[in-house]
C-alpha cells in the first residue's frame, strides 16, 4: 500500500516509515495530502487518516531497542550478546535499594531543569577527582545520554543540514540526527577510529558544509575503536574550518581497562564552544536510572536548558538523588574498578572464544574498553546476511545485533556486533559455540 514514489527523498534514498506500530503511508493522490512530496499521511487500522510531520519518515526505530522487548519474550537461557548494558550482578542494586529508603522529603517535587544541585556538585567533584576541570556552568543533567544527544542535535540541525557520522555508528545516534531531518554523511572508520583525513574530500562531494560531526571517540559503538589523538586534533581543525559542532558521545570513556588514556576534545581545547560532550551513568551504574549529563559552553547550555524545559522539565528528581547519594558515599570509584576487571576478563574470554571457535570465519576487533566486538564474516560465510542469521541464532539460543543496524545505508550485511558486558566467561564460550552452529546452519541453506 505504500507508494515509494511519493516518499520524501533524503540523502539520495527513498525512505518509508519503519519501526514500531503501523506504517505511515505517504500517498500521491490522497485528498488530505495537499502536497504529496511534503506530506506524510498515517492510515490507522480504523481507516482514519492523520497528516503527520515529514520527519516521521525518518523515525526508523532502533533494532537494538526492539530487541530488548523481543529478548524479554524469549527462552531464558539465551546468551545475550545483543545489549550494551551491564547485567544485574554488576549493578549496585542493594545500595540503590537502601538509598531509595533515604528521607524522601522534598524529593518528589519538580526540580531545576539543569539538575539537582546535590547531583551537580557530586558530579563536578567526581570529574575533578579524575583530573577533569568541571565548571558547574558547563554541566547539565539529562535523562540518559540519549536526551543529551537529542538536545545536541536539536540545537544544531535544521532539515537538510549535513551531519558527518562514523560508519558504522550507534543506531540511536543516527536515529536522532535523522529525527531532525539531517542529511547524514557516513564516513569510514579504521583501527584508529574515524578516518578524518578522508573527510575534506567526502564533504566536498556533498556540496554542503557540515553543521555537526557526531563521533564516539572512545571505544566506539559498535566497532570498539578509539580515535587517535592526531585525528582528534585534525578533527578540531576541520570543525574550525566548517564552524561545525563536534557532538562527542562518550558513554564508555570511564571504563577503559587497557591501554593509555587518549585526551578528549575538551582536554585538547578547554572551553571550546563547538564541543558538546554527552555522557551517562548508564554504563558505569545502571541504564534504568536514566541519568546522564552534558558538558558544553555556558552559552549553549542556556539554550540546552530551554530545550530540555520543553521536553521533560527536569530529569527524575528521586533518581538524581539516588545517584547523588551514591556518589556522596564515595563508592563509585571502587565500583568502576571492579567493572574494569570484570569487563577485561569478559572481553578476553570473548576474543579468545571467537578466535578458537570461529577461527578464520570472522575477523574480530580487540578493544581496550567499551562493551563490544565487531565481527565481519569471511570466506564462504561472507555471503550470509546477518539480519537473516539473527532468527536462526535466536533459535540456537544466542542473540547479537546485525551489522545493518549501525548504518543508514544498508551496509554491513556481513557484520555483527557482539557484547561481552552481559555474560560470564563460561556463557560467552557457550554463546560463541551457538553462534557457530547458527552460522553452519545458515551456510547450509
Ligand atoms: N551513545 C552510545 C554510543 C551508546 O552506546 C549509548 C547506550 N547504548 C548511548 C549513547 C545512550 O546512553 P543512555 O542509555 O544513557 O541514554
Distance 85 CA to ligand 1 centre (A): 9
Q: Does residue 286's CB lie within 6 angstroms of at least one atom of ligand 1?
A: no
Give the angle 4-6-9 at the CA atoms, nearest 5°: 85
> Of 279 and 270, which is predicted with more confidence?
279
**Tens digits of residue pLDDT in 321-335:** 999 999 999 889 999
pLDDT at 18: 33
Specify the ligand 1 atom closest to the Cα of 290: 15
- pLDDT confidence of 37, banded at 50, 70, 90? low
Distance 289 CA to ligand 1 centre (A): 13
Within 214-331, residue ranges assigned H as helices are 229-242, 265-268, 298-312, 317-328
pLDDT at 383: 95
- pLDDT confidence of 26, banded at 50, 70, 90? very low
332 to each of 121, 127, 187, 329, how far by Cα in Å? 15, 12, 36, 8
Mutational test site, ligand 1, from 63, 86, 221, max ligand atoms within 8 Å of CB: 221
Buried b (16+ CB within 10 A) or exposed e, 371-397: bbbbbbbeeebeebebeebbebbbebb
pLDDT at 12: 31
From the list 261, 229, 232, 228, the residue with the least C-alpha distance to 246 is: 232
Distance 171 CA to ligand 1 centre (A): 10
Q: Does residue 216's CB lie within 6 angstroms of at least one atom of ligand 1?
A: yes
**Tens digits of residue pLDDT in 211-234:** 999 999 999 999 999 999 999 999
**Tens digits of residue pLDDT in 58-97:** 887 777 666 666 666 666 688 989 888 887 889 999 999 9
pLDDT at 60: 78
Radius of gyration of the chain from its Cα atoms, rounded to whole angstroms = 22
Buried b (16+ CB within 10 A) or exposed e, 227-238: bbbebbebbbeb
Specify the ligand 1 atom closest to the Cα of 221: 3
- pLDDT confidence of 9, banded at 50, 70, 90? very low
32 to each of 3, 8, 28, 37, how far by Cα in Å? 15, 17, 10, 13
pLDDT at 42: 87
What is the average per-residue pLDDT within 342-351? 96
> Of 444 and 167, which is predicted with more confidence?
167
Give the angle 339-91-84 at the CA atoms, nearest 5°: 70
ipTM of the complex: 0.99
pLDDT at 396: 94
Q: Does residue 180's CB lie within 6 angstroms of at least one atom of ligand 1?
A: no
What is the average per-residue pLDDT within 308-314? 97
Q: Does residue 249's CB lie within 6 angstroms of at least one atom of ligand 1?
A: yes
Q: Does residue 252's CB lie within 6 angstroms of at least one atom of ligand 1?
A: no
What is the average per-residue pLDDT within 378-393? 94
Residue 26 contacts residue 41 (beta carbons within 8 Å): yes
267 to each of 25, 239, 304, how far by Cα in Å? 47, 16, 22
pLDDT at 72: 67
Distance 230 CA to ligand 1 centre (A): 25
Three-state DSSP at 288 gives helix
Q: Is the predicted pLDDT of residue 5 greater than 60, yes or no?
A: no
- pLDDT confidence of 25, banded at 50, 70, 90? very low
Q: Does residue 146's CB lie within 6 angstroms of at least one atom of ligand 1?
A: yes
What is the average per-residue pLDDT within 427-445? 95
Distance CA 27, CA 4 (A): 9
**Tens digits of residue pLDDT in 175-224:** 999 999 999 999 999 999 999 999 999 999 999 999 999 999 999 999 99
pLDDT at 85: 84
Q: Does residue 170's CB lie within 6 angstroms of at least one atom of ligand 1?
A: yes
Instruction: Output the pTM of the full model.
Output: 0.89
Q: Does residue 215's CB lie within 6 angstroms of at least one atom of ligand 1?
A: no
Amino acid at each position: 500500500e505504500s507508494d515509494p514514489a511519493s516518499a520524501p527523498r533524503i540523502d539520495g534514498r527513498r525512505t518509508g516509515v519503519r519501526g514500531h506500530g503501523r506504517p505511515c503511508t505517504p500517498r500521491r493522490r490522497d485528498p488530505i495530502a495537499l502536497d504529496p512530496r511534503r506530506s506524510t499521511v498515517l492510515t490507522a487500522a480504523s481507516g482514519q487518516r492523520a497528516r503527520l510531520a515529514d520527519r516521521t519518515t525518518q523515525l526508523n526505530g532502533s533494532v537494538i531497542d526492539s530487541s530488548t522487548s523481543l529478548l524479554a519474550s524469549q527462552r531464558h537461557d539465551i546468551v545475550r550478546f545483543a545489549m550494551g548494558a551491564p547485567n544485574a550482578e554488576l549493578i549496585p542494586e542493594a545500595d540503590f535499594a537502601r538509598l531509595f529508603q533515604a528521607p524522601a522529603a522534598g524529593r518528589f517535587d519538580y526540580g531545576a531543569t539543569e539538575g539537582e544541585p546535590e547531583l551537580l556538585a557530586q558530579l563536578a567533584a567526581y570529574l575533578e577527582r579524575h583530573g577533569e576541570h568541571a565548571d558547574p556552568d558547563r554541566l547539565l543533567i539529562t535523562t540518559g545520554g540519549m536526551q543529551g544527544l537529542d538536545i545536541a542535535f536539536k540545537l544544531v540541525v535544521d532539515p537538510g543540514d549535513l551531519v558527518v557520522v562514523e560508519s558504522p555508528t550507534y543506531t540511536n545516534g543516527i536515529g536522532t540526527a535523522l529525527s531532525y531531518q539531517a542529511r547524514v554523511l557516513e564516513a569510514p572508520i579504521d583501527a584508529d577510529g574515524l578516518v578524518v583525513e578522508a573527510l575534506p574530500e567526502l564533504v566536498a562531494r556533498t556540496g554542503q558544509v557540515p553543521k555537526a560531526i557526531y563521533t564516539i571517540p572512545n571505544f566506539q559503538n559498535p566497532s570498539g575503536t578509539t580515535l587517535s589523538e592526531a585525528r582528534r586534533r585534525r578533527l578540531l581543525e576541520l570543525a574550525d574550518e566548517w564552524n561545525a559542532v563536534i557532538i562527542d558521545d562518550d558513554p564508555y570513556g570511564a571504563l577503559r581497562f587497557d591501554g593509555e588514556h587518549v585526551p578528549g576534545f575538551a582536554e585538547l581545547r578547554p572551553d571550546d564552544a563547538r564541543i558538546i560532550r554527552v555522557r551517562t551513568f548508564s554504563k558505569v551504574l545502571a541504564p534504568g536510572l536514566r541519568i546522564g549529563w552534558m558538558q558544553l559552553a555556558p552559552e549553549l547550555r542556556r539554550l540546552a536548558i530551554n530545550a530540555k524545559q520543553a521536553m521533560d522539565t527536569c530529569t527524575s528528581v528521586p533518581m538524581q538523588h539516588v545517584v547523588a547519594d551514591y556518589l556522596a558515599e564515595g563508592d563509585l570509584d571502587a565500583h568502576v574498578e571492579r567493572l574494569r576487571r570484570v569487563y577485561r576478563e569478559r572481553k578476553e574470554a570473548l576474543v579468545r572464544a571467537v578466535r578458537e571457535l570461529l577461527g578464520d570465519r570472522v575477523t574480530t576487533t580487540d578493544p581496550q574498553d567499551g562493551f563490544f566486538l565487531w565481527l565481519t564474516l569471511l570466506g564462504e560465510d561472507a555471503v550470509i546476511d546477518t539480519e537473516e542469521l539473527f532468527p536462526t541464532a535466536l533459535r540456537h539460543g544466542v542473540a547479537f545485533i546485525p551489522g545493518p543496524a549501525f548504518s543508514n545505508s544498508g551496509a554491513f550485511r556481513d557484520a555483527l556486533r557482539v557484547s561481552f558486558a552481559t555474560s560470564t566467561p563460561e556463557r560467552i564460550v557457550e554463546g560463541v559455540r551457538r553462534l557457530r552452529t547458527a552460522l553452519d546452519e545458515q551456510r547450509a541453506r
